Amino acid sequence: MKTVCLIASSEEHWGNQWGYVLSHWQPDRLYIVGDFDRSIKPFKRAIQIDSAAELPDDGPIFHITPTGKTPITAFIHPGVSTYVFGPDDRNISNELHGARIADTVRIDTDNDLEMYSWVAGAIILHDRRMMDGG
């Protein structure tokens, strides 16, 4: 089982890009911190929460961030886990306050540029699918 938690963004295109990712790699549960557009199909069943501290405690929570401690190449996806992705327009330290983050995971690139959260989401969910046997 996999869960995705998104920290909502005020950027209009954010929802459409994440909508595309989530329509191809569907999580079992989807939590969104903050307001979001329910008209985007994959968001219709999303659960709105006020902070990441409200995430369920049925498995470890991983923050996917460019400054993460563990590279994705060394990361082992546990059976039940939650992946937290922030918006592209701000730091999410306030929304993570009180959350039980087990580890931070990074996706290394050929340069020092950060990647959009929806791109990181696609990579993490694809990696998870491959670990689960495709």
Residues 6+ apart with CB under 8 A from 118: 14, 17, 18, 20, 21, 85
Number of domains in the chain: 1
Whether residue 134 has pLDDT greater than 70: no
Express each pLDDT in 39-51 by its tens digit: 999 999 999 999 8
pLDDT for 89 beyond 80: no
DSSP string, 63-83: EE-TT-SEEGGG----SSEEE
Domain that holds residue 25: 2-131
As a residue count, the chain comes to 134
Tokens of 129: 């699918």
What pLDDT is attached to residue 1? 65
Residue 125 has a pLDDT of: 94
Mean pLDDT of the chain: 89
Alpha carbon distance 54, 61 (integer Å): 11
**Structure confidence at residue 128 as a pLDDT band (50, 70, 90):** very high
Q: What CATH code is carried by the domain that includes residue 94?
A: 3.40.1280.10
Whole-number pLDDT of residue 95 = 83
- Say if residues 118 and 21 touch (Cβ distance below 8 Å): yes
* pTM of the full structure: 0.91
What is the structure's pLDDT at 83? 95
Coil vs helix vs strand at 122: helix
